[in-house]
Amino acid sequence: FLIEYKDLIIPLEAKAMFNTKAKSLISYIKKYEPKISCRFSMRNLGINKIDNSQIISRPLYLVKDLKNILKSF
């Protein structure tokens, strides 16, 4: 998914499993170099970096807090 927040286009990926390989998200990041992206899955909180992009990882149940999560960036 892609969302617009302020002046940013932010890719989102949702996984209903613990496996978060995120091939499509990684491909998007390498091609378009977004400042931030979000991944929701069964895993815990985390932030990873690929090149100049940050991947914000959150548990699925925090999808409802996406707006608050993005305010910090």
Q: What is the pLDDT of residues 4-31, one digit of tens each?
A: 999 999 999 998 877 666 688 999 999 9
Residue 69, pLDDT above cutoff 90: no
φ, ψ (nearest 5 deg) of residue 8: -110, 145
- Nearest Cα neighbor of 34 from 3, 68, 69, 72 is 3
Q: pTM score > 0.75 for this model? A: yes
Q: Is the dihedral of CA 42, 7, 68, 2 positive or negative?
A: negative
Mean pLDDT of the chain: 89
Torsion angle (degrees, nearest 10) of CA 67, 68, 70, 71: 120
Distance (Å, whole) CA 33 – CA 54: 10
Distance (Å, whole) CA 25 – CA 12: 8
